[in-house]
Amino acid sequence: MYKTFRVKNFRCFKDLQINDLGRVNLIAGANNTGKTALMEAMYLHTRPFSPGDLSNLQQVRGINFSDDNRVSNWRQFFYRLDPDTPIEIEGQRILPEPRPILCIEELANTIENEAEFQLYAKNLQLLGMTQIDAAKAASELDIVLHFLERDEKTTHGSAFLPSNPKLPVIGFKDRKEDSQFFPVQGRPTSEDLTDKYSLLRFENRHSAIDSALKRLEPKLTNVEVLSPDGQRRIWATVDGVIMPFHLLGEGSIRFASLLMVMCGDKPEYLFIDEIENGIHYSVQQDVWKDIGKAAREHDIQVFATTHSWEMIEAAHEAFKSDHNYEFRFHRLDRSLQTGDIEAVTYNEFGMDAVTSISYEVRG
């Protein structure tokens, strides 16, 4: 579980330090203060050897990503689109362990970076490509992701992203990469949800999902996997009518999907963009209680963004009713002096203060 986090030269962040992270973290701020970008940085740090995530994150933002525009897309991750200053993403976790830094830097030419080139060439060979291909790569390898330990400066591994679209992106998979990102848009497929729910049902771990759905839709009485037309999918009984689960509202499906991931996949880290989407104010406290319970039971650290005051208040009230307040609220602000983005963190005491006087904390 992360305790602190630092992001340098990434997207809109020149140098952002965020402290006192909780098990469940809610991030707010005015538009263009980097709420989603902060979660992207954290997501990348939890999956340092998955360079393909860069393209996924761009596509989530609706940016077309293809092999032909790799470089242009990668450069969008750099502060002010300037790849001359490397990106550094660093997190300190609660357990004593090295403080790895994910460093993303653009190499003008790998010939000048012999060690990096040799490593890439070696991996090309492992993939069955010839030495000639590797040599050709030398002048084309633009961006390299390093994963370093701060103290020893030793490289744990590198992922390679060549600018030449004919050359493969190579990443290492020798480390557990266990996080999931819920973007603002994009529904999970019916098949994906059905697979997850079936497994939970089979293992008799579906009650948390059923209970949560009933709170969101009080007329819902039953959820089950059926295949009346030969296609296996989830069906819900609402007001006595059995209907495909996907006909329920956006909020119900998104939240059910979220809980299925938490209870089924149990990722170490979960990122949710604009968590308030589709959630009626009257059930927001319940939603937070469900998220807090699942996070605690399955040892998941949750990061979410919001623009909703009601969602912020609901989170505080939900976690306050627990004897162990595992919630932190973080606001991203732009400094009037430097224009840089800074983070302010509120613990239980701070949240009590601002919610009791309805003080604006959304930036």
Partner 1 sequence: MRNIKIDERYGRLLFVEGRDDEVFFLKLFEHMGISGDIHIVVYGGKDNLQRHLLAILSDANYSINRQHIGIVRDADYNTDAFDSIVSALRHANEHRGTRHQFSIPGTAQARSEAAPYVSVLVLPPDGEGTLEDLVVDVLKTEPVMTCVDQYFECLTENGISISRERFSKSKLSVFISGAAVDTDYATNRDSRRKFLREAVAMHWWRAALWQHDNFRVIQDFLTQLRTDQPSSAT
Q: Give the binding site for partner 1 (CB under 8 A).
A: 309, 331, 333-337, 342, 344-347, 349-350, 352-354, 356-361
Shortest Å distance, C-beta 295 to partner 1: 22
CB of 38 to partner 1, least distance (A): 15
Query: Please, which residue, 97 or 349, has the CB nearer to partner 1?
Result: 349
* First-to-final CA distance of the chain: 26
Residues listed for the chain:
363
**Closest CB to partner 1 among residues 193, 361:** 361
Strands 87-93 vs 220-226: parallel, antiparallel or unpaired: unpaired
User: Minimum distance between the CB of residue 337 and partner 1, rounded to whole angstroms?
Assistant: 5
Are 35 and 75 contacting, i.e. CB atoms less than 8 angstroms apart?
A: no
Query: Between 64 and 337, whose beta carbon lies closer to partner 1?
Result: 337
Specify whether the CB–CB gap between 306 and 26 falls below 8 A.
yes
Query: Whose Cβ is closer to partner 1: residue 13's or residue 235's?
Result: 13
Quote the tokens at residue 114.
């012999």
Helices (H), 94-172: 114-126, 131-138
Q: How far is CA 314 from CA 127, 143, 245, 329, 332, in A?
A: 51, 43, 27, 12, 20
Shortest distance in whole angstroms from residue 326 CB to partner 1: 17
What minimum distance in Å lies between the beta carbon of 335 and partner 1?
A: 6
C-beta of 64 vs 338, nearer to partner 1: 338
Residue from 6, 74, 61 nearest 38 by CA: 6
Cβ nearer to partner 1, comparing 67 with 326: 326
What is the smallest separation between the CB atom of 98 and partner 1, expressed in angstroms? 27
Residue 308 phi/psi, 5-degree rounding, is: -100, 120
Q: Least distance to partner 1 from the beta carbon of 349, Å?
A: 5
Tokens of 320: 């306050």
Q: Which is nearer to partner 1, 20 or 112 (CB)?
A: 20
Strand order in the sheet with 269-272: 179-182, 269-272, 301-305, 24-29, 327-334, 341-346
